[in-house]
Structure 1
Amino acid sequence: MRVRLAVEPETLSPVSYSDAGALQILNLLFQSLLSADLADNQIKPYLAADLPQVERLDSVSLFTYQIREEASWTNGSPVTAADVAFTLKVLKAPLLNNEFLKPQVQFIQDIRLDSSNAKRFTFVCEGYSPEMELLTGDFFILPAYLFDPEALLQPLEVAALTGSLSELENNSDLKAFAARFNSPAYGHSTRVLQGSGGYLLESWENGKYLTLKRKSDWWGNNLPDAPYLSANPERISFQLIPDNTTALMALRSRQLDVLDNIEAAEFNELRQEEDFLKEYAMYSPDAYEFIYAGINTRLPKLSDKRTRQAIAHLLDVKSMIKVSQQNYATPTVGPVPPSLKAYYNNKLTPYSLHQKKAMELLSSAGWQREQDGWFQEINGNREQLTLEVNYRAGSSNYENAAIIFQQSAAAVGIPVQVQAMENSLLSQNLKAHDFEMFFRSLSGNPFVLNFQPLLHSDFAGKGGRNVTGFGTPESDNVLDAINKADTPEVKAKLLKRLQEILYDEAAFISLYYLKDRLAVHRRFGNVKVSGLKPNYDVSAFTLKE
């Protein structure tokens, strides 16, 4: 199988990965207890033998799992509850690069191992919410024998990793483990990056490709109760092709078997080409991915929300969708998909181009319109309202959005400079808070709506994922409460309030949800196409007779 990879992963660490391409590869190397089957978008047991048994008590809930008897690591040793306990320690301990996943497991207070069954265990969880059934099983399980051969984390207790962890920061064993685990080499190591999945990372040629090789005797083959566990292609080659035009040329010349994220205009052209359609099938599922604009609220000139609201009213979302997506997209008021009708706030109207309103907001924020732009006295200095907008190079989605915004802003006297940059540099600048405004996309799923890492003020420090600095006491409380909501009705009310706050603060501005557009060579069968990333399950593909 030859698959295009648009962005080279910064790391394949199962704990600190940061992009969709890395996640797609990790799903082939490692497994979680539960996952979604892309054939029907239903949550099913993967490493687990079944969905967890749930027992609700007064202040805690218990989730008991049994790991599949067949489940084993690359060296043939069994996957056990001890590996799950080790993984929890890695996700919860201080000093480790675990900020991305740490909030998702905060509610797990402890793990109880069954002394009579090495594959059985119980999570002790704070409170209860319906999402916990998925969240308790939605992280990659790590092999302790590979990640911690010296058993440095073995003395730590999971129960001790809740609350204040300052004392542990001086733990010599933890510091030694962190020094190795956090090293860039760890996230690139073919020796360490071996999980319970059906594939091994065979080679990684920086800037060119990553190749995965099927395990010869993988335990997941031919399980009668789990046909969705698959590892069919012998090799999967992820070809690094950042530029969309180059990727399309590779598809047309039959050098790729799968291409997703096809530009809308080219997708429409391909649908008209009879010769191409004889060899490739075309799909356009609704995706759980949205384009958004981020504004650095820490900058004095952008600290007033009325200034940010004015900028939001210069985002011509309809034109962006028409030009970039050929209308394969849906405007949104926030990071909740409009298709999730119970949780989407349909009382709000998506931001759209409204130049008069933008100028009124600028005036109310203290900006004065002069012949050559908008000016204001800030901290004793006369400052002009200008913007630099950053986006990932090689994506026409972001480039078109930036240029359309640049034109709309120019019409009201705001000079905008657009700057494409390599993805790793953009990520570095955002984490260092070295930016004014940017366009990016985020992928999610309909099962878990946990926005804490992106929007909570606890994650707004340098290096954190809340790069815009968004956060109010109310929004922090709402984000905390969303993860603890024990009924869909309570959760819906909280999510709608979060969307209202985001809309009003205009720091993290959701623009539109995408439809994916992909082509798959017709020589393959068992093609599962879904709105869930990566939109297809490459491990399931079979060759037709």
Structure 2
Amino acid sequence: MKKISVYLFVLLLIITGCRRPQPAGNEVRIRMGQDPENLSPVSYTSKDAAQLINLLYQSLLTVDLADGKLKPLLADSMPTVVKQDSVSFFTYRIRPEATWANGAPVTAADVIFSLKAIKCPLVNNEKIRPDFEFIQEVRTDAADPKKFTLVCKGFTPEHLLMSGERFFIMPEYLGDPQGLLKPFTLRQLQNNFDALTQNPQIAQFAEQFNSADFTRNPEKLQGSAGYILENWTTGQQIRFKRKPDWWGNKTSEAIGHLTANPEKITFRIVPDNAAALVALKNGQLDVWQNVPATIFQQLRQDKTQSGKFQFFTPQTYSFVYLGLNGQSEKFSDPRTRRAMAHLLDLDAIIKTTQQNLAVKTVGPISPADKRFYNSAIQPYAYNVTRATELLLLAGWQKNGSVWEKKSNGQTIQLKLNLSYNASNSEYESIALIFQQAAAKAGIPVALQPLENGVLTKDLKAGNFDGFIRSLTGNPFVFNFKPILHSESIGPEGMNYTGFGTPESDRLIEALYTSNSETEKAKMLKRLQEILHDESNMSFLFFQQDRIVVNKQLGNLKISGIKPGYDVSAFTLQQD
């Protein structure tokens, strides 16, 4: 009898091993690379935290990943917009069904509180506070507590995105139960910011709001979205549970982007990629986003694993580039910068670092956006001979094995210190490929892997020759002023490469306020031409995301917009 039991056990193992990994009940398990540490809607710092916060809190508008369009979420419709001289008015109304976890209605008072928390002195809001200076006040409707108008300074198309989608609405009853912020208006908090740091009520509120209660306590982290925080074991997992009587299920019509389908959603914190791969194969993970390119290709080519999982590679809005210090004597001539661009072997870089899962680009506009991408420009071809010709035209001379030129009475040598984030192996590979190509042209390149904070400090101080980094945009607003306008050059700005011409500045300013698609297309294409000619930034590629999802899950809404899928919409599919 014991022998038969052994045979049956072995048979069960074989049968189980052949099955697709099953989600645990109606629970979706997602890999996270690190603990987010903080889930405050105002002070979170981890780039992955926003996905988790979206399960707890809602904004007025949202991007529906099904089609990439901006749509009403907590608001019942898109706002009405009125422009009047130097002021614009955005009027919203919150959905009548919307309630908090305690059953109380979401009202304009909660919107006002949320903006006050963002603007309040002493609160850990430094990261987002400057983004909302354009909102001057909130006017409520005496006849309708759910209706309000945001009074905004000036008008740009970005105001719609920022006022509707870029801040979370928090419940006043939980965030400020003592009403400490009620006596203060938004204008007072903004205009008297420094003086109010001495106010005892402000200090009391900030102390409470900055405490651990409002960063990780499930009793305080409660919003209007479809989930509550059930459990958080630091460094291991964070679990969310669907609200049993969520208001989103009671709307008068079905809203495809207003969902809370899985009963539980668990983020398992697995820092090591090898351990994550084992967990995925063992059925302990259902979703892995941003899979390393090599692992992704191996999984996709493995017949056993390809039967268990779905594989997606949406093009993102993140691009990788090599920046040069155009403020330095070495790289002040655009011909020298173009020579460096000719030493970038894009085919080798994309194959080696991305397993060919990337798209070449000539600028910060996604090639997938046919309206605005300038397809008439071609990336600089990898060509050592052409690079040498450009160096000679820029006044460089070869003295033995060294490139030299006279500048302000001094002899300078062409050599390059190339900096990048030490924790990013892809950047290291790009740097090595560039180093080898530059050596063929007789240009020594020293690699400088740095901790990210040190790298940022060096970039702000102008203490660099070249660097490798990535930037992430979006398909809604083209605000290049912080990174490309000449006013953003210097320690207070982010235009590290010193790019900027009078024409590019005018284009960037006009783009920020333009509502015309035709005019935007014309301006964006011209801006890409200037960027290409100046070559302060050599744009390498737009990344393709690499997402692996259990085949038992459907309604995924895969998108190039982060996080790449909508987990609240997931449904469990049967074989």
User: 5 Å matches for 1:474-513?
Assistant: 474-513=503-542
Structure 1 residues 93 and 213: CA distance shift in structure 2, 3 A: same
* Aligned counterpart for 2:141 among listed residues 114, 120, 126: 114
Normalised by the length of structure 1, the TM-score is 0.84
1:195 aligns with 2:220: no
Q: What SS is found at the alignment partner of 1:344? A: coil
Residue pair 1:20, 1:533 contacting (<8 A) in 2 also: no
Residue pair 2:181, 2:205 contacting (<8 A) in 1 also: no
Q: What SS is found at the alignment partner of 2:139? A: strand
Task: Give, in whole Å, the separation in 2 of the partners of 1:56 and 1:445.
Answer: 25
Match of 1:520 in 2: 549
Structure 1 residues 465 and 129: CA distance shift in structure 2, 3 A: closer
Residue pair 1:89, 1:158 contacting (<8 A) in 2 also: yes
* Aligned counterpart for 1:226 among listed residues 255, 262, 280: 255
Task: Give, in whole Å, the separation in 1 of the partners of 2:398 and 2:40.
Answer: 50
1:369 aligns with 2:394: no
Q: What SS is found at the alignment partner of 2:307? A: helix
Match of 1:532 in 2: 561
Structure 1 residues 161 and 495: CA distance shift in structure 2, 3 A: farther
TM-superposed CA distance for 1:403, in Å, is 1.8
Structure 1 residues 120 and 341: CA distance shift in structure 2, 3 A: same
Residue pair 2:38, 2:216 contacting (<8 A) in 1 also: no
Task: Give, in whole Å, the separation in 1 of the partners of 2:158 and 2:463.
Answer: 35
Normalised by the length of structure 2, the TM-score is 0.80
1:280 aligns with 2:309: yes
Task: Give, in whole Å, the separation in 1 of the partners of 2:366 and 2:43.
Answer: 25
TM-superposed CA distance for 1:529, in Å, is 1.4
Deviations 1:481-508 (CA, angstroms, capped at 9, x unpaired):
2221122122223323332343344334
Q: What SS is found at the alignment partner of 1:64? A: strand
Residue pair 1:95, 1:169 contacting (<8 A) in 2 also: no
Match of 1:4 in 2: 31
Match of 2:418 in 1: 389
Deviations 1:152-197 (CA, angstroms, capped at 9, x unpaired):
55455445688xx5x5333336874897599696884436654333
Task: Give, in whole Å, the separation in 1 of the partners of 2:431 and 2:420.
Answer: 8
One-letter amino acid of the structure 2 residue matched with residue 44 of structure 1 = K
Deviations 1:212-249 (CA, angstroms, capped at 9, x unpaired):
44445443345343242223334433334455454334
Residue pair 1:103, 1:453 contacting (<8 A) in 2 also: no
Percent of matched pairs sharing the same residue: 48
One-letter amino acid of the structure 2 residue matched with residue 318 of structure 1 = D
Task: Give, in whole Å, the separation in 1 of the partners of 2:209 and 2:493.
Answer: 15
One-letter amino acid of the structure 1 residue matched with residue 373 of structure 2 = Y
1:70 aligns with 2:97: yes
Count of residue pairs the alignment pairs up: 542
TM-superposed CA distance for 1:35, in Å, is 0.8
TM-superposed CA distance for 1:66, in Å, is 0.6
Structure 1 residues 459 and 230: CA distance shift in structure 2, 3 A: farther
TM-superposed CA distance for 1:511, in Å, is 1.7
My pick for the range that moved more, 94-103 or 334-343, is 94-103
One-letter amino acid of the structure 2 residue matched with residue 229 of structure 1 = L
User: 5 Å matches for 1:382-421?
Assistant: 384-393=413-422, 395-420=424-449
- Flag structure 1 segments of 5+ consecutive residues without an equivalent: none
Deviations 1:440-487 (CA, angstroms, capped at 9, x unpaired):
333333222223333345555547554545455554443332221122
One-letter amino acid of the structure 2 residue matched with residue 494 of structure 1 = M
- Flag structure 2 segments of 5+ consecutive residues without an equivalent: 1-27
Task: Give, in whole Å, the separation in 1 of the partners of 2:395 and 2:77.
Answer: 60
One-letter amino acid of the structure 1 residue matched with residue 72 of structure 2 = P
Residue pair 1:264, 1:324 contacting (<8 A) in 2 also: yes
Match of 1:171 in 2: 196
* Aligned counterpart for 1:39 among listed residues 59, 63, 66: 66
Residue pair 1:3, 1:239 contacting (<8 A) in 2 also: yes
Match of 1:340 in 2: 369
TM-superposed CA distance for 1:363, in Å, is 4.3
TM-superposed CA distance for 1:366, in Å, is 5.1
TM-superposed CA distance for 1:75, in Å, is 4.7
Residue pair 1:20, 1:534 contacting (<8 A) in 2 also: no
Task: Give, in whole Å, the separation in 2 of the partners of 1:300 and 1:182.
Answer: 49
My pick for the range that moved more, 251-260 or 150-159, is 150-159
Residue pair 1:28, 1:197 contacting (<8 A) in 2 also: yes
Task: Give, in whole Å, the separation in 1 of the partners of 2:337 and 2:84.
Answer: 46
TM-superposed CA distance for 1:356, in Å, is 3.2
Task: Give, in whole Å, the separation in 2 of the partners of 1:29 and 1:542.
Answer: 19
Task: Give, in whole Å, the separation in 1 of the partners of 2:462 and 2:345.
Answer: 26
Residue pair 1:243, 1:395 contacting (<8 A) in 2 also: no
Residue pair 1:295, 1:436 contacting (<8 A) in 2 also: yes
Deviations 1:122-151 (CA, angstroms, capped at 9, x unpaired):
233456555654443111224245555565
Residue pair 2:486, 2:499 contacting (<8 A) in 1 also: yes
Task: Give, in whole Å, the separation in 1 of the partners of 2:502 and 2:45.
Answer: 27
Q: Highest CA radius of gyration, 1 or 2?
A: 2
One-letter amino acid of the structure 2 residue matched with residue 170 of structure 1 = A
Structure 1 residues 385 and 152: CA distance shift in structure 2, 3 A: farther
User: 5 Å matches for 1:56-205?
Assistant: 56-57=83-84, 60-89=87-116, 91=118, 101=128, 105=132, 107-125=134-152, 132-143=159-170, 144-148=172-176, 153-158=181-186, 168-172=193-197, 176=203, 180=207, 188-190=215-217, 193-201=221-229
Task: Give, in whole Å, the separation in 1 of the partners of 2:488 and 2:240.
Answer: 34
User: 5 Å matches for 1:309-324?
Assistant: 309-324=338-353
My pick for the range that moved more, 459-468 or 413-422, is 459-468
Structure 1 residues 309 and 281: CA distance shift in structure 2, 3 A: same
User: 5 Å matches for 1:430-469?
Assistant: 435-456=464-485, 462=491, 465-469=494-498
Match of 2:380 in 1: 351
One-letter amino acid of the structure 1 residue matched with residue 50 of structure 2 = L
Residue pair 2:123, 2:210 contacting (<8 A) in 1 also: no
Structure 1 residues 209 and 443: CA distance shift in structure 2, 3 A: farther
Residue pair 1:36, 1:44 contacting (<8 A) in 2 also: yes
Q: What SS is found at the alignment partner of 2:321? A: strand
TM-superposed CA distance for 1:409, in Å, is 1.6
Match of 2:20 in 1: none
Structure 1 residues 443 and 358: CA distance shift in structure 2, 3 A: same
My pick for the range that moved more, 188-197 or 226-235, is 188-197
Match of 1:247 in 2: 276
Deviations 1:284-313 (CA, angstroms, capped at 9, x unpaired):
223222222233455554455444333233
Structure 1 residues 145 and 394: CA distance shift in structure 2, 3 A: same
Q: What SS is found at the alignment partner of 2:145? A: coil
Q: What SS is found at the alignment partner of 2:95? A: coil
Task: Give, in whole Å, the separation in 1 of the partners of 2:460 and 2:99.
Answer: 38
Structure 1 residues 421 and 539: CA distance shift in structure 2, 3 A: farther
1:268 aligns with 2:297: yes
